[in-house]
Homo-oligomer: A and B are copies of this chain.
Amino acid sequence: MIILKLGGSVITRKNASEPTLDTENLTRICREISESSYENLIVVHGAGSYGHLYAKEYEIGAEINSKKELERKKQGFSKTQNSVKDLNAMVCEHLQKQGIATVSIQPSSFIKTENKRIIKADLDLIKQYLELGFVPVIYGDVVLDANEKIKMAVVSGDQLIKYLAENLKPELVVLGSDVDGVYNQDPKDNPDAELIKVVRSRKDLLSLDSTKTVDVTGGMGGKIDELLEIAKNGIESEIINANTNNNIKRALNGEKEIGTLIR
């Protein structure tokens, strides 16, 4: 089994002022998935401009201090849920056009968090869909939170990746992002920045260039911490640039060290 993450910045125009699909990227990526050979596949996608705009405007996950604020947040929850569901429908539709039998899985229908971490999620149905040869397509969503102070939370694609990996034990996790992988310096500022091919611990990041801060743009630092946790269970993950032609296809076909491998 492979779990493939499609970053919100890859399939949507993340900085758009309204939810906007990156149709060209999505079409190409779905074709690459259909052309690759996997036994079982789960696709996890981020929300990009379909989620962040609403979640930010309504501050889903922030403390609720009044009834008015609760009502406003419920409206925000409702709008966010519908918007990310729209994106998911389009991802499924594009995969279907390539002949892939998708099954959409809606986190808010079966997942609950506590302090923004998943505490309830029955994965039996996902396992059964996989056994039948479906490709489950799950996504960043809003969910109920057991903490009475916040009541609602965002569950990100990255958190889903970690939860699914720990519970379903895939052979590989592929993270399709909009960068080539992890650098020892920020490649935007430093022409000498080098791509780190393999990360085995946080130390591997620091040892390459101990005098400079490790690139943590786009929350890469947090991502790697979660991936290192997964690696402890023997599950490899690789961060690749999904904007580069055929990278996803190569990764799904088992090619390694396309980007940064975390093992």
Contacts and interface: CB of A to CB of B under 8 A. Distances in A.
Interface of A: 70-71, 74-75, 77-79, 81-82, 85-86, 89, 92-93, 96, 99-106, 108-110, 112, 122, 125, 128-129, 132-134, 144, 151
A78 B106 contact: no
A137 to B, nearest CB: 10
A74 B86 CA distance: 21
Q: Is the interface of A mostly helix, strand, loop or mixed?
A: helix
B104 A106 contact: yes
A132 B60 CA distance: 14
5 cross-chain pairs, A with B, having the tightest CB-CB distances, nearest first: A74-B101, A109-B109, A106-B106, A110-B110, A106-B109
B96 A75 contact: yes
Contact of A105 (B100, B109, B129): B109
A111 B191 CA distance: 53
The complex is assembled from copies of this chain, and their number is 2
B82 A92 contact: yes
19 contacts: A70-B132, A70-B133, A71-B101, A71-B133, A75-B96, A75-B99, A77-B101, A77-B134, A78-B103, A78-B134, A81-B92, A82-B96, A86-B89, A104-B109, A105-B108, A106-B106, A112-B125, A112-B128, A128-B144
Contacts of A133: 70-71, 74
